[in-house]
Amino acid sequence: MKSKIHISVGVASILALAGCRNDMHDQPRYKPLAAADFFSDHRASRPQVDGTVARGHLRIDEARYTGKIAGEDIDQFPIPIAKADIEWGQTRFNIYCTPCHGKLGDGNGMVVLRGYRQAATYYSDKLMKAPVGHFFDVITNGFGAMPSYASRLEPDDRWRVIAYIRALQLSESAKITDVPTDKRQDLPVEPAPRGIAPAGGAPVAGTPNAPPAAAPAREGGR
């Protein structure tokens, strides 16, 4: 009895719905890439007007997006570089470049140690003097055995990686006198490698590499 009522309600609503107008189902529209008689080339999907640029993809700044001006590599960063940019560049460098160039940028990354073609060291005379635009070109288009990294690094991130490479290059020849006196105590104290005596005898107390004058005695430890 109960189920009979259910069925008749169902049938009634199907009949009622069938009576609805169908306009929204039959819209005058074309399916993507369908043929159309309306246009002379019979393409329903219209080609883009020449010079169309997707929103957010307008790249008229030649230096910023090619690293060149009139075909010449630029030697000034085309975007402002702050400390945060260098730090971000370091993270990208460590992800994308160290497998071949190594963390130090000397070209001896793990992939190279396992037999890949020797990657370039950033400390060669050529690359120390190379303009930043050259690095941009190498990352964008690849170089010799090195593939392009354009699909993994947005143009501005390429500049940030290059800023970090410049910092690496600077650090290679940096002297303690390059560090402002009030910042020297912030330098990390690196212990001498085990089993190797520090060159030139024991470190002088008060220099950045010397251990603290009085190491606090540890309690309860061994």
- Binding footprint of ligand HEC on the chain (CB under 6 A): 96-97, 99-101, 111, 116-117, 119-120, 127, 135, 138-139, 143-146, 149, 161
Pick between residue 141 and residue 185 the one whose CB is nearest to ligand HEC. Answer: 141
Pick between residue 43 and residue 172 the one whose CB is nearest to ligand HEC. Answer: 172
Q: Which of 107, 220, 91 is nearest to 163 (CA)?
A: 91
Report whether 20 contacts 14 (CB < 8 A).
Answer: no
Q: Provide, rounded to whole angstroms, the least separation between the CB of residue 125 and ligand HEC.
A: 11
Report whether 150 contacts 157 (CB < 8 A).
Answer: no
Say which residues have a Cβ less than 8 Å from residue 114's Cβ, sequence separation at least 6: none
Q: Which residue is nearest to ligand HEC (CB)?
A: 144
Q: Provide, rounded to whole angstroms, the least separation between the CB of residue 87 and ligand HEC.
A: 16
Pick between residue 79 and residue 189 the one whose CB is nearest to ligand HEC. Answer: 79
Distances (CA, A) of 116 to 103, 105, 110, 143: 16, 15, 9, 14
- Quickly count helices (H) and strands (E) in the chain: 8, 2
Strand partners, 73: 68
Q: Provide, rounded to whole angstroms, the least separation between the CB of residue 67 and ligand HEC.
A: 12
Q: Provide, rounded to whole angstroms, the least separation between the CB of residue 164 and ligand HEC.
A: 9
Pick between residue 117 and residue 184 the one whose CB is nearest to ligand HEC. Answer: 117
Q: Provide, rounded to whole angstroms, the least separation between the CB of residue 61 and ligand HEC.
A: 21
190, two tokens: 């690196």
Pick between residue 62 and residue 73 the one whose CB is nearest to ligand HEC. Answer: 73
